[in-house]
Amino acid sequence: MRKKIIAGNWKMNLNAQDVKLLVEQILSKMPVLDAQHQVIFAPSYLYLTEVAALCQGKDFIHVAAQNCHHENGGAYTGEVSPVMLKSAGITHVILGHSERRAYNHEDAKLLSQKTNAALAQGLQVIFCCGEPLEIRDAGTQNNYVGQQIMDSLFHLSESELQNICIAYEPIWAIGTGRTASAAQAQEMHAHIRQLIAGKYGATIADQMTLLYGGSCKGSNAAELFEGADVDGGLIGGAALVADDFLQIIAAMNASK
Ligand code: PGA
């Protein structure tokens, strides 16, 4: 059965004390989730192992890196490889976030290499896609997002694809307070699932978890998660506040 996931992308936020406090606050009130529901924390590299240690014993919580390199090792100053993540007990990695595409010039080819490298280590990949405002205004968002997915993921085998979860994050909605409407999110998610079905078949498409990201918060999560193809969220700003994040988890739990 398809999993529902709430992932908190903390980006370059929180100092060492804040991280510990936030995790403790969330854990103190988090309900126990069943096998179909997961929560993922994506802190800076610096805090990955500490957060994993704080969450030990809670099988429904996982920890994700926000990026990884496409090589396993070598002379790449400042980088972190999938081998390093795996050996430190990290299970997930976010790839293709629009901020990395924009500020670090990560293109489709590099993202396909990163995806290969992460999957080769047995990491689960949260692959982000999403269109800028001018593409949305032109009405060509389905083609744009479809191309991002085809370019970086469609070389994968069926079994590899089963370790991918796709996060649709319209760039115009990230950190702007302007959320996609529930109908816009559902429409794109249905399009993505159809695209996956066309290439990999309906069963694999039906199993894939599709997350929405972009100004998702406690007050709009329930409505967004009503979409039949919206299986949770990749949360930025609201993941930094325990009560907001818990409200979003509650919305996932309540959704059908
Ligand atoms: P936001 O960020 O929730 O702050 O809009 C989402 C993301 O970038 O993953």
* Residue pLDDT, tens place only, 180-199: 999 999 999 999 999 999 99
What percent of the chain shows pLDDT beyond 90?
A: 96
Residues recognised as catalytic: 97, 169
> pLDDT-derived band of residue 1, with 50, 70 and 90 as boundaries?
confident
Q: Is 90 exceeded by the pLDDT of residue 254?
A: yes
How far does the centroid of ligand 1 lie from the alpha carbon of residue 6, in Å?
Answer: 12
113/63 Cα distance (integer angstroms): 22
> What's the N-to-C CA distance of the chain in angstroms?
13
* Greatest Cα-to-Cα distance within the chain, rounded to the nearest angstrom: 48
> pLDDT-derived band of residue 167, with 50, 70 and 90 as boundaries?
very high
230/225 Cα distance (integer angstroms): 5
Q: What is the pLDDT of residue 169?
A: 98
Report yes or no on whether pTM surpasses 0.95.
yes
Q: Is 90 exceeded by the pLDDT of residue 177?
A: no
Q: Mind listing the pLDDT tens digit for each residue in 47-78?
A: 999 999 999 999 999 999 999 999 999 999 99
Q: Which atom of ligand 1 is nearest to the CA of 217?
A: 3
Please report, as a single letter, which amino acid is at residue 221: A
Please report, as a single letter, which amino acid is at residue 146: G
Q: Is 90 exceeded by the pLDDT of residue 179?
A: no
Q: Is 90 exceeded by the pLDDT of residue 178?
A: no
Q: Whose CA is nearest to atom 6 of ligand 1?
A: 236
